[in-house]
Amino acid sequence: GWPAVCGKFRAARTLSAVESLKDPETEPYRSKYSARALLQEVKQLLSNAEEGGEARVLAVRRAVLEYELGVNHTDTEELSAGEEHLQRCTQLLEPHRLSPHCVSLYIQAQNNLGILWSRRDEIETAQTYLESAEALYNQYMKEDGNPPLDPSEHFMAEEEKLTDQERSKRFEKAYTHTLYYLAQVYQHLDMIEKAAQYCHTTLKRQLEYCGYYPVEWARNAATLSQYYLSKECFMEARHCLAAASVIFSQAGQVPSAEDNETEQDQHDLPERKAEIARCWIKYCLNLLQCARKLLEDNIGELDPDRQLELKAQRKKEEDEKEKGRKKAVLFGTSDICDSVLAMEEKVSSVYPLDFQEAREIFLVGQNYVQEAKEFFQVDGYVTDHIEIVQDHSALFKVLAFFEEDYERRCKMHKRRIDMLEPIYADLNPQYYLLICRQLQCELADTYYEMMDLKVAIGNRLEKLDSHTVKKINSLAQFAIKYYELFLDSLRNPDKVFPEKLEEDVLRPAMVAKFHIARLYGKLITSDSKKQLENMQTSLEYYTFLVDYCEKYPDAVPAVETELELSKEMVTLLPASMERLRAKLSPCV
How many Å apart are CA 305 and CA 22, to the nearest integer?
68
The band of 336, judged by pLDDT with boundaries at 50, 70 and 90, is confident
Candidate from 103-117, 230-244, 293-307, 321-335 with smallest mean pLDDT? 321-335
Q: In the chain, helix, strand, coil percent, each to 5?
A: 80, 0, 20
The band of 484, judged by pLDDT with boundaries at 50, 70 and 90, is very high
Nearest to 296 by CA among 287, 285, 307, 286: 307
How many Å apart are CA 290 and CA 295, to the nearest integer?
9
**pLDDT confidence of residue 45:** 85
The three-state secondary structure class of 556 is: helix
How many Å apart are CA 352 and CA 288, to the nearest integer?
7
Is residue 68 predicted with pLDDT exceeding 80?
A: yes
The three-state secondary structure class of 296 is: strand
296: β partners: 302
Measure the CA dihedral 45/46/49/50, to 10°: -150
Q: Confirm if 222 and 275 have CB atoms less than 8 A apart.
A: yes
How many residues are recorded in the chain? 588
SS (H, E, C) 381-422: CHHHHHHHHHHHHHHHHHHHHHCCCHHHHHHHHHHHHHHHHH
Is residue 134 predicted with pLDDT exceeding 80?
A: yes
How many Å apart are CA 115 and CA 248, to the nearest integer?
27
**pLDDT confidence of residue 393:** 97
Region 99-115: mean pLDDT is: 96
Is residue 63 predicted with pLDDT exceeding 70?
A: yes
**pLDDT confidence of residue 2:** 83
Q: What single-letter amino acid sits at 201? A: T
Region 443-456: mean pLDDT is: 95
302: β partners: 296
How many Å apart are CA 327 and CA 340, to the nearest integer?
14
Nearest to 558 by CA among 571, 549, 566: 549
Nearest to 250 by CA among 222, 214, 216: 214
Global pTM value:
0.83
150-171 per-position pLDDT tens digit: 999 999 988 889 999 999 999 9
255-304 per-position pLDDT tens digit: 554 444 555 567 789 999 999 999 999 999 999 999 999 999 888 889 99
* Main-chain dihedrals φ then ψ at residue 51, nearest 5 degrees: -55, -45
Q: 214 CB contacts (<8 Å, ≥6 apart)? A: 247, 248, 250, 251, 254, 256, 261
Q: Confirm if 91 and 113 have CB atoms less than 8 A apart.
A: no
**pLDDT confidence of residue 53:** 61
**pLDDT confidence of residue 259:** 46
Task: Select the highest-mean-pLDDT range: 192-196, 267-271, 463-467.
Answer: 192-196
Is residue 348 predicted with pLDDT exceeding 80?
A: yes
Region 207-230: mean pLDDT is: 90
Exposed, middle or buried by CB within 10 Å (0-12, 13-18, 19+), for 483? buried
Of the chain, the end-to-end C-alpha distance in Å amounts to 119
How many Å apart are CA 229 and CA 206, to the nearest integer?
23
The three-state secondary structure class of 250 is: coil
Region 22-38: mean pLDDT is: 93
Give me the chain's average pLDDT, please.
Answer: 91
Candidate from 49-53, 171-175, 244-248, 437-441 with smallest mean pLDDT? 49-53
**pLDDT confidence of residue 506:** 95
**pLDDT confidence of residue 588:** 47
516-552 per-position pLDDT tens digit: 999 999 999 989 899 999 999 999 999 999 999 999 9
Candidate from 257-271, 416-430, 482-496 with smallest mean pLDDT? 257-271
Task: Select the highest-mean-pLDDT range: 21-25, 103-107, 338-342, 524-528.
Answer: 103-107
**pLDDT confidence of residue 218:** 94
Cβ atoms within 10 Å, residue 405: 10
How many Å apart are CA 588 and CA 583, to the nearest integer?
10
Task: Select the highest-mean-pLDDT range: 111-115, 262-266, 303-307, 560-564.
Answer: 111-115
Q: Confirm if 569 and 517 have CB atoms less than 8 A apart.
A: yes
What whole-number percentage of the chain has pLDDT above 70? 93
Region 375-393: mean pLDDT is: 95
DSSP letter string over 131-174?
HHHHHHHHHHHHHT-SPPPPGGGGGS-GGGPPPHHHHHHHHHHH
The angle formed by the CA atoms of residues 566, 570 and 574, to the nearest 5 degrees, is 150
Region 208-229: mean pLDDT is: 90
Q: Where are the beta strands (DSSP E) in 194-235?
A: none
DSSP 8-state symbol, 53? S
How many Å apart are CA 191 and CA 574, to the nearest integer?
57
Is residue 47 predicted with pLDDT exceeding 90?
A: no
**pLDDT confidence of residue 3:** 87
